[in-house]
Amino acid sequence: MQTRREQVRAYRFVTRRVVSALLSGEPETTDLPMRRLSIAIFGSAMLAIIVFAGIGAYALLKSGHGQPTDSALIIERETGARFVYLDDHLLYPVRNYTSARLLLGKPDPPVRTMSAASLRGVPRGRVLGIPDAPDSLPDRGALLGLPWSLCSAPRSRDETVPLSQLLVGPAPAGGTDLGNSALLTASGRSGGQQYLIWRARGGRLERMRLGREVAALLNLQGDPVVVGQATLEGIPAGPDLVRITLPKEGKPSGRSVAGIPANVGQVYQVDNQYYVMISAGPDSTGLVPIGDVTRRLLTGKGAEQPVVINGQDLAPVALGSHFEPDGYPETVPATYQATSRAPAICVAYGGADAINPQLSVRMYDTGYDQLPDQLKVAGDPGITQIERGVQSVDRVVVAGGRGALVRQLPTPGAIAAGTTVYLVTDEGRKFPVPDSPNVLGALGYPGVTPVPVAAALLDLIPSGPDLDPQAARGIGESPTPESVPVRPPAPTTSPPRPAAPPTTAPARSSPSVPASAH
């Protein structure tokens, strides 16, 4: 008689043969088909447990638990408030992101997002940072170079009063190159001070202030194009085009030309060259060469017309001295004739140096609706500032998230090269930066060479505060409800607050700075 155990074993044997035959087609196999499935299920379950444990640990860390780490930027998750945790183990509220980078002194400081609960009870320091410093910085890959464009365009379709704009980055598309033509302009409004924008000498673009009635005396054609004053200020100044006053003009000179007594100021012509009689002393009375511009200004209104003589008549009375001011134009240019009611003008700066900048002028003369989008203003363009006697432009255009790191070129005639470095941000302001590799590195620009830009152009950009580590450490106020979220008082065992935070930014002396300093 079989025992029950033997019956169970026989049943399992038969069942295993049936399952093996069904799954593998081999009833005599010694492998258990379901064993592989069990092992796979067990392994998958263990792997899932490990993965979910890792995700949980990561979520736990990202949720803001734990303690702040030294020399790190801390962001409170619930409010977005910023702090820096320095080597003295104090948590300092910081005014803006730029100040935090200057305080930490690292190109890529660690950033931690922590919950308010995890920051509760951490000892606080005083508020640090530079008021009004930028709250975001362009990446080094987002920095723009030249050209920059200084433009003047109408404010709207119905308002022809010009708006001065500085475009940092690529120039507006389209337009007509001014070439060698001159542009007659009026400053700010119709009837304002007139200027002539022209390549008068050596291809150098200049603005020349015109004296009263000079445009008529030179027979300059067309109505002046109204241009914003700040735009004109950014163009290198040339000599003023005014009538030159001669000492003793109209009185006898004591010299004769071709046997005829000559008065001071009388103009003569030999072939295509003009001369004028001057009297500056016994040995300085005679004829000196002049250009067509000076000839027109001297003879334009009722004065005697040039007397034609030959070379033999000239030789006895010719002087070798130079009469006209340096850079004074010799010929009268052809002027650009505007066709629209209020054309726009852009002067592109392409580099070179302070003495010979690469400048080009383009006219946008097809009406407001056809202007490039960069020249059209949406909303309030801002407030014009006046710094060091120079009026800033009405609008500085920098693409969002971009900026420029520039070095001011020396002014013409300066002995030393310019050392002032500026960071121009998409706020439309320039911020002076100490010329130090450590400071540039702390802002995220290690090894970046600033782009040289003319001082006349930089003067047109409104200025912000200096981005100096000393200013970031030295300016501060006690935390207030407006500047930092209110927290319970620190434990009585907390270490005393130092008078100033530790120096983790580039090493410099730390003089005390009043709270009102900028």
Question: Are 465 and 132 spatial neighbours (Cβ–Cβ below 8 Å)?
Answer: yes
Number of other residues whose CB lies within 10 A of the CB of residue 321: 11
The token duo for 445 is 């620009």
Mean pLDDT of 421-446: 93
Categorise residue 157: left if φ over 0, alpha if ψ from -120 to 50, beta otherwise.
alpha
CA distance 26 to 327: 107
The rounded Cα 320 to chain-centroid distance in angstroms is: 49
Q: Name the one residue in this structure whose structure tokens are 């209110």.
A: 486
Is the pLDDT score of 165 beyond 60? Answer: yes
The rounded Cα 273 to chain-centroid distance in angstroms is: 47
Question: Are 101 and 444 spatial neighbours (Cβ–Cβ below 8 Å)?
Answer: yes
Phi/psi for 51 (5° steps) reads -65, -45
Which of 260-274, 302-316, 386-400 is the most confident on average?
260-274
Assess if CATH 3.40.50.720 describes domain 63-133+467-518: no
For residue 43, the one-letter residue type is: G
Omega cis (within 30) before 147: yes
Mean pLDDT of 360-380: 81
Element (H, E) at 91: strand 91-93
Tell me the pLDDT tens digit for each residue of 283-304.
788 899 998 998 888 887 555 6
For residue 494, the one-letter residue type is: S
CA distance 76 to 253: 87
Closest CA to 406 of 471, 468, 346, 461: 461
Is the pLDDT score of 338 beyond 70? Answer: yes
Residue 144, C-beta contacts closer than 8 angstroms, at least 6 positions apart: 168, 169, 398, 399, 402, 403, 404
Among the residue ranges 277-291, 314-328, 488-502, the one predicted with the least confidence is 488-502
Phi/psi for 445 (5° steps) reads -125, 50
User: Band of the pLDDT at 381, cuts 50, 70, 90?
Assistant: low
CA distance 380 to 487: 39
Fill in the DSSP letter of residue 368. Answer: G
Residue 288, C-beta contacts closer than 8 angstroms, at least 6 positions apart: 275, 276, 278, 318, 319, 321, 322, 323
Residue 274 to residues 53, 127, 405, Cα–Cα distance (Å): 96, 73, 51
Give pLDDT, residue 359.
87
Among the residue ranges 67-76, 145-154, 290-299, the one predicted with the least confidence is 67-76
Q: How many residues does the chain have?
A: 518
User: Band of the pLDDT at 514, cuts 50, 70, 90?
Assistant: very low
Categorise residue 152: left if φ over 0, alpha if ψ from -120 to 50, beta otherwise.
beta
Tell me the pLDDT tens digit for each residue of 234-253.
888 888 888 888 888 888 98
User: Band of the pLDDT at 485, cuts 50, 70, 90?
Assistant: very low
Rg (CA), the chain: 39
- Cα dihedral 281, 283, 289, 295 sign: positive
CATH number for domain 252-317, candidates 3.40.50.800, 3.40.30.10, 2.40.50.910, 3.40.605.10: 2.40.50.910
Locate the domains of the chain by residue range.
Answer: 4-60, 63-133+467-518, 252-317
Residue 295, C-beta contacts closer than 8 angstroms, at least 6 positions apart: 267, 274, 276, 306
Closest CA to 293 of 336, 242, 247: 242
Which of 370-374, 409-413, 472-476 is the most confident on average?
370-374
Number of other residues whose CB lies within 10 A of the CB of residue 216: 11
CA distance 153 to 375: 7
Residue 493 to residues 119, 122, 127, 499, Cα–Cα distance (Å): 17, 11, 21, 18
Give the β-pairing of 390-391 and 395-397. Answer: unpaired
Tell me the pLDDT tens digit for each residue of 22-57.
666 666 666 655 566 667 787 788 888 888 887 766
Please, is 371 exposed, middle or buried when counting C-beta atoms within 10 Å of its C-beta (0-12, 13-18, 19+)? buried
User: Band of the pLDDT at 418, cuts 50, 70, 90?
Assistant: low
Residue 392 to residues 162, 163, 246, 354, Cα–Cα distance (Å): 14, 11, 38, 19
What is the 3 state secondary structure string of 284-297?
CEEEEEECHHHHHH
CA distance 165 to 256: 57
Average pLDDT, the chain: 80
Among the residue ranges 224-228, 343-347, 386-390, the one predicted with the least confidence is 386-390
Give pLDDT, residue 93.
93
